[in-house]
C-alpha cells in the first residue's frame, strides 16, 4: 500500500475505547515511573529546542491516536468551505415617538463586583472557529480537535487565567501520524522578548506577523514557532511521523500565515480578575519560598528527603506555557543518587494554581479513577478537599484541595499507595499552615 493510500484510510479509522484506555494507561505509567525513580527535573529549566522535545514527540504521537479518523495533509487539498448566502438589505421603519418621561432623582451607580469566576479567553474565537477561518484542512485533512493528554491540571488553569487559548488537532494511523498545537496569549510584550531570544539562539525569521521565529528538526520531525501579531502572541508546535518533508514544512508555513491573517484584526478581551483571597498564594519567587510548618522529611518519615522544595519545570512547555502559567509546581525529594528503603516515599509534589477555585471542580477525570474512588477528607485550613485514587498502573492516590479560592493538588505524580494516603492531608495542612 502506498503512503498516500495509507493516509487516505485515516479518514475512516476512529479510535476505539480500548485505544483510549491504552493511551491513558501508558501516560499514567510514565508519570508513576518518573515518580518512583525520584528524578529531579529542576535542571531542565531551559527548554532545549530539539533534544528537550524527545518526550514531546512521543506524547503528541499518542495524542494523535485519539483524534479519530483524521487524515494528514501531506498532499494539499482545497479547503471546502460552506458557501455563504448573499447579504440582503433590511429596511427599518422609523421608530414611534416615545412619550417624554418626568425626570426622577437618580441614585449613584454602584460599581459591579469584579468577575472572579471561570476566565474567558482573550482570543474571541473558539478552536473550531479558528480552524475553519484559517482553512486547517489545507494542512490536515478532515481535522478533529482533541483536548489535553490526561486530566485538567493546575498548570492549565494558570494559562487560562492569563487569557490563554490552546488548540490541538491531530491524526494517526499505523506508523504515520501528525499533530498541531496552537497556543495564543495576549501578552505581546513578553512575546516580543521571547521571539527575540529565540532568534538570538538561532531560530529563523519566517517573515510572519510583526515578529516571528521558527525552528524545525528533520531528525525529530517537528517544528516550533512563535509569532507576535497585533494584540496576540502565538506559539505553535507541529510534528509528523515517520518524517518531516519539505512539502509539509511549506504547508505548515502557509497555514500559520493564514492563522496570522485571521488573528491580526482581532482585539484582545478583558483580563481575568483573581479573587482577593488567592493573593495569599501569589508566587513570591522560586519554590524554595514555599514552606511547610513541619519538615517534609518528618511528614514523609523519610530522613533522606531535602526539606527545601525545588521547581518542577517540564522541558517541553512552550514559551506561553512557561511565562504565562501563574501556578506553582514544587517538589520535595531526595538528592540525586540517594535511595530510600522499600515502601518509603522518596518525593512529594505540591502544585498550586492561585485563584483557580473555579477549576477545582474539574479536577476529576484522570486515568483509572472513578467517582467511587473520590472521597471528601478533612484538611485543616481548607474550604474542601477530595482524595482520589487511580488503578491505571497500580493503586495510587492524590489530593485536590480548595483553599483561599485556589486549587492545590498534592501527590499527583508520587505514586502514593492507598495505605499511605493519609500523608496527603498532612502535607496539605502543613503547607497551608505555613503560607
Q: What is the model's pLDDT at position 37?
A: 43
How far lies 70's CA from each of 3, 8, 153, 385, in Å?
15, 9, 26, 39
Q: What is the model's pLDDT at position 190?
A: 98
Residue 1, pLDDT > 90, answer: no
SS3 60: helix
Residue 53, pLDDT > 90, answer: no
| 408: number of Cβ within 10 Å | 28
Q: What is the model's pLDDT at position 313?
A: 72
Strand 211-217: give its sheet, edge to edge. Answer: 165-173, 176-185, 232-241, 222-229, 211-217
How big, in percent rounded to 5, are the helix, strand and coil portions of the chain? 30, 20, 45
How far lies 365's CA from each of 112, 293, 389, in Å?
35, 31, 11
Mean pLDDT within 138-151: 69
Q: Please state, in angstroms and rounded to a whole number, the distance separating the CA atoms of residues 50 and 219.
A: 9
Q: What is the model's pLDDT at position 4?
A: 46
Q: Are strands 347-353 and 375-376 parallel, antiparallel or unpaired?
A: unpaired
Answer positive or negative: Cα dihedral of 319, 321, 327, 333: negative
Q: Where are the domains of the chain?
A: 3-75+118-263, 276-434
Residue 70, pLDDT > 80, answer: no
What tens digit of pLDDT does each residue of 103-128 get? 444 444 444 444 457 899 999 999 99
Contact between 303 and 338 under an 8 Å Cβ cutoff? The reply is: no
Mean pLDDT within 17-46: 41
- The torsion region of residue 62 among left (phi > 0), alpha (psi -120 to 50) and beta comes to alpha
pLDDT tier for residue 394 given thresholds of 50, 70 and 90: low
Q: What is the model's pLDDT at position 82?
A: 34
Q: Are strands 396-403 and 222-229 parallel, antiparallel or unpaired?
A: unpaired
Q: What is the model's pLDDT at position 175?
A: 77
If 0-12 CB within 10 Å is exposed, 13-18 middle and 19+ buried, where does residue 208 land? buried
Contact between 376 and 425 under an 8 Å Cβ cutoff? The reply is: no
Mean pLDDT within 48-62: 34
Contact between 61 and 181 under an 8 Å Cβ cutoff? The reply is: no
Mean pLDDT within 26-39: 42
Q: What is the model's pLDDT at position 306?
A: 96
Residue 51, pLDDT > 50, answer: no
What tens digit of pLDDT does each residue of 154-185 get? 888 999 999 999 999 988 777 778 899 999 99
How far lies 262's CA from each of 139, 168, 170, 318, 333, in Å?
16, 17, 21, 22, 46
Of 245 and 38, more confident? 245
pLDDT tier for residue 361 given thresholds of 50, 70 and 90: confident
Q: What is the model's pLDDT at position 413?
A: 82
What tens digit of pLDDT does each residue of 193-252 get? 999 999 999 999 999 999 999 999 999 999 999 999 999 999 999 999 889 999 999 999
**DSSP-assigned states of every residue in 26-60:** HHHHHHHHHHHHT---GGG-SPPSSGGGHHHHHHH
Region of poorest pLDDT, from 28-37, 278-287, 417-426:
28-37
The vertex-95 CA angle with 94 and 99, nearest 5°, equals 140
Mean pLDDT within 321-340: 91
Average pLDDT score, the chain: 77
**Residue length of the chain:** 435
Q: Where are the alpha helices (DSSP H) in 243-339?
A: 246-263, 296-299, 319-324
Of 355 and 29, more confident? 355
Amino acid at each position: 500500500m502506498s503512503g498516500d493510500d495509507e493516509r487516505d484510510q485515516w479518514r475512516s479509522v476512529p479510535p476505539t475505547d480500548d485505544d483510549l484506555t491504552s493511551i491513558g494507561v501508558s501516560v499514567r505509567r510514565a508519570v508513576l515511573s518518573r515518580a518512583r525513580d525520584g528524578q529531579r527535573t529542576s535542571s531542565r529549566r531551559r527548554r532545549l529546542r530539539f533534544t528537550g522535545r524527545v518526550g514531546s514527540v512521543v506524547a503528541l504521537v499518542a495524542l494523535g491516536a485519539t483524534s479519530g479518523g483524521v487524515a494528514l495533509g501531506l498532499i494539499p487539498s482545497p479547503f471546502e468551505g460552506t458557501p455563504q448566502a448573499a447579504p440582503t438589505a433590511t429596511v427599518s421603519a422609523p421608530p414611534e415617538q416615545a412619550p417624554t418621561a418626568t425626570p426622577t432623582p437618580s441614585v449613584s451607580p454602584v460599581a459591579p463586583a469584579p468577575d472572579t469566576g471561570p476566565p474567558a479567553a482573550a482570543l474571541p474565537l473558539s478552536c473550531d472557529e479558528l480552524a475553519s477561518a484559517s482553512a486547517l484542512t489545507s494542512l490536515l485533512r478532515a481535522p478533529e480537535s482533541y483536548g489535553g493528554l490526561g486530566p485538567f491540571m493546575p498548570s492549565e488553569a494558570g494559562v487560562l487565567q492569563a487569557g490563554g487559548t490552546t488548540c490541538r488537532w491531530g491524526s494517526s494511523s499505523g506508523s504515520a501520524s501528525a499533530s498541531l498545537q496552537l497556543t495564543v496569549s495576549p501578552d505581546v510584550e513578553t512575546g516580543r522578548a521571547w521571539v527575540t531570544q529565540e532568534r538570538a539562539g538561532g531560530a529563523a525569521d519566517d517573515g510572519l506577523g510583526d515578529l516571528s521565529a521558527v525552528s524545525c528538526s528533520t531528525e525529530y520531525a517537528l517544528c516550533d514557532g512563535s509569532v507576535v501579531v497585533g494584540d496576540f502572541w502565538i506559539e505553535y508546535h507541529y510534528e509528523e511521523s515517520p518524517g518531516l518533508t519539505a512539502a509539509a514544512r511549506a504547508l505548515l508555513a502557509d497555514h500559520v500565515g493564514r492563522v496570522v491573517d485571521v488573528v491580526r484584526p482581532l482585539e484582545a478581551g478583558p483580563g481575568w480578575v483573581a479573587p482577593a483571597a488567592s493573593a495569599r498564594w501569589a508566587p513570591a519567587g522560586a519554590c524554595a519560598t514555599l514552606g511547610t510548618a513541619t519538615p517534609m522529611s518528618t511528614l514523609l518519615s523519610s530522613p533522606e528527603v531535602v526539606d527545601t522544595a525545588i521547581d518542577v519545570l517540564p522541558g517541553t512547555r512552550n514559551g506561553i506555557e512557561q511565562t504565562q502559567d501563574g501556578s506553582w509546581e514544587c517538589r520535595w525529594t531526595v538528592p540525586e543518587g540517594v535511595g530510600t528503603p522499600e515502601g518509603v516515599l522518596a518525593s512529594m509534589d505540591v502544585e498550586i494554581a492561585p485563584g483557580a477555585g473555579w477549576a477545582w471542580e474539574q479536577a476529576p477525570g484522570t486515568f483509572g479513577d472513578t467517582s467511587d474512588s473520590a472521597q471528601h477528607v478533612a484538611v485543616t485550613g481548607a474550604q474542601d478537599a477530595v482524595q482520589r485514587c487511580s488503578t491505571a498502573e497500580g493503586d495510587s492516590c492524590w489530593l485536590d484541595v480548595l483553599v483561599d479560592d485556589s486549587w492545590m493538588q498534592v501527590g499527583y505524580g508520587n505514586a502514593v499507595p492507598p495505605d499511605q494516603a493519609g500523608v496527603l492531608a498532612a502535607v496539605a495542612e502543613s503547607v497551608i499552615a505555613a503560607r
